[in-house]
Amino acid sequence: MLKDKKLIIFDLDGTLIDSAPSLAYSINLMLKELNKKPLPAELIKGFVGNGADILIKRALSGKKEYKEPKDKECFKRAKDAFFSFYSKNLTTNTTLYPNVLETLNALKDKNYTLALATNKPIEFVADILSHFKLDNFFKLALGGGSTQFKKPHPQMLLKISQDLNIKPNCCVMVGDSSNDIIASKKANMSSIALTYGYNQGINLKDLEPDVICNNFKEILDFT
């Protein structure tokens, strides 16, 4: 499937790194700052994947089906607190998923161009990539704020395609959530879904990705 492709675009959270522990830690520090009760880390994990604003709104609501905050000032304080705590804990208890470095090296050796498209705020991305020694793999890395719209809108993927001068039908999106699969389809790109990440309880098979992998290194089976 990848043999005729030139560019592979990767998601970050739930795809390359297991960042839920650091996000949960920072969210609970935020809630403490607001005199609210902490939430179980496993619950917060289910809130991850749609960017920081929605993560915070879900945490304030205590459920995935969040309510828009009526108190805008309270939401601003929550967001400021979360960004402050998370900026100091970007990699706290965060780990690379198995076989990520080896697989990225192998793909680079096969002359694929690699890029990153994440809904995580772009200001956090460089330090995380550097910490895990991932920064040299990607020709281009975009995050929340790099484009007007986040995934599942295709804008981020299409910008990467355009900036690297590689046609969308020569690109593949690799991710763990519906955002990644839907964005790839809207961008006319192929998709690889990973089952181990933050799919928020959605059966990825229902989204009909081109390939489903249970382990990151299985990507190499399609090269």
Q: What is the pLDDT of residues 43-94, one digit of tens each?
A: 999 999 888 999 999 999 999 888 788 888 999 999 999 999 999 999 999 9
Same domain, 154 and 201: yes
Residue numbers annotated as active site: 11
Same domain, 38 and 58: yes
From 33, 62, 87, the end of a domain falls on 87
Q: What is the pLDDT of residue 215?
A: 97
Kindly list the distances between the CA atom of residue 101 and the CA atoms of 16, 21, 81, 173, 212, in Å, as whole numbers in the listed order: 9, 20, 33, 18, 20
Q: What is the pLDDT of residue 217?
A: 97
Task: Quote the number of domains for the chain.
Answer: 2
Q: What pLDDT digit, counting tens, does each position of 192-213 carry?
A: 999 999 987 788 899 999 999 9
For residue 111 the two structure tokens come to: 């002359």
Place of tokens 């076989």: 99
Same domain, 40 and 140: no
What's the rounded mean pLDDT across residues 113-120? 96
What's the rounded mean pLDDT across residues 82-109? 97
Q: What CATH number should be reported for the domain holding residue 52?
A: 1.10.150.240
Residue 1, pLDDT > 90, answer no
What's the rounded mean pLDDT across residues 13-26? 96
For residue 39 the two structure tokens come to: 């939430």
For residue 8 the two structure tokens come to: 């592979």
For residue 116 the two structure tokens come to: 């990153």
How does residue 156 score in pLDDT terms, banded at 50, 70 and 90?
A: very high
Range of the domain at 44: 20-87
Percent of the chain with pLDDT over 70: 100
Place of tokens 């089906």: 65
Same domain, 50 and 112: no
Q: What is the pLDDT of residue 18?
A: 96
Residue 42, pLDDT > 90, answer yes
d(CA 100, CA 110): 15
**Residue 52: partners with Cβ closer than 8 Å, 6 or more residues away:** 79, 82, 83, 86, 120, 121, 144
How does residue 27 score in pLDDT terms, banded at 50, 70 and 90?
A: very high
Same domain, 11 and 100: yes
Q: What is the pLDDT of residue 97?
A: 98
Same domain, 11 and 36: no
Please check whether residue 1 lies inside any domain of the structure.
Answer: no
10 Å Cβ neighbour count for 168? 19
